[in-house]
Amino acid sequence: MSETAAVPVAVCQFAPTASRADNRERIAELTADAAARGAKLVVFPEYASYFVDPMDESLSTNAEELDGEFVATLTALAAEYAVVIVAGLAERGEGHRVRNTVVAVRGDGILAVYRKQHLYDAFGQTESDWIEPGAVGEAATFELGGLRFGLMTCYDLRFPEVARTLVDADADVLVVPAEWVRGPLKEHHWTTLLAARAIENTVYVVAADHPTPIGVGHSQIVDPEGVVLAGVGTAPGIAVAVVERSSLARVRKTNPSLRVRRYAVAPR
């Protein structure tokens, strides 16, 4: 891959609702705005297709197949604006449970699919009541502009093995759609873990969250040294920055932690 590779990326922080049509319309508006700012990768949060709080049986009713209306809309937008779009959706699963899925799409179709491995059964929440976990398997990655991007979701951020598995699949950038639920110290956890995953893996981290009052906000683009290049506060908005192979090379020359590590990751 080219040593001069550079990709402008955008994180779009918005609050998906129980109206699938409204969500698609908002995604179209934000994609147009991000593309106008020069973005070639546009990242949306977890559950961008449909979201209710608290979760209930309507998730199953409103879940879609990967060839459904939501992904078709993303693909059409990606073609119209010559971008790649990453977004979370409620995908139809088995029985009453759905899959918490992230797709990366280009104008000619789906590039990668990731299904959330670690479900949010923590801090008083039980996501597993409504969501079936994704299988542990091959890392979900795609290439754009000479860089490789890897997909993970929200609570996965608390498990460094997920990020390391993506890095072992040659990911240069970790893409993290999320609905990071608010609570005591949760903003601190979110920003700390984003920086930690970037620093320990010497990669970029591109994370899109829901705004307050349900999410913590603070969608951001973090460089391989843990520095926030661009970010959004707690309200809806867009942040844009460029991810560059030259920065990866510089940081990894100074801090060759990936090369000198003595442990690999094995699934349980």
20-36 and 69-81 helices cross at what angle (nearest 10)?
20
Whose CA is closest to 176, among 203, 146, 206? 206
pLDDT greater than 70 at residue 91: yes
d(CA 47, CA 91): 10
Total length of the chain: 268
Confidence of residue 2 (pLDDT cuts 50, 70, 90): low
CB 219 within 8 A of CB 206: no
- pTM for the model stands at 0.97
Burial of residue 160 (CB within 10 Å: 0-12, 13-18, 19+) is middle
User: For the chain, how long is the longest CA-to-CA vector?
Assistant: 51
Catalytic residue positions?
A: 46, 116, 154
Q: What is the pLDDT of residue 160?
A: 96
Integer CA distances (angstroms), 253 to 59, 147, 156, 201, 256, in order: 46, 18, 28, 13, 6
d(CA 160, CA 241): 24
Residue with tokens 């459904």: 68
d(CA 100, CA 84): 20
pLDDT greater than 80 at residue 49: yes
- β-strand 204-208 against 98-106: which pairing, if any? unpaired
Q: What's the per-residue H, E or C state across 105-154?
A: EECCEEEEEEECCCCCCCCCCCHHHCEECCCCCCCCEEEECCEEEEECCH
Per-residue model confidence as pLDDT tens digits over 126-148: 999 999 999 998 899 999 999 99
Whose CA is closest to 208, among 184, 167, 180, 188? 180
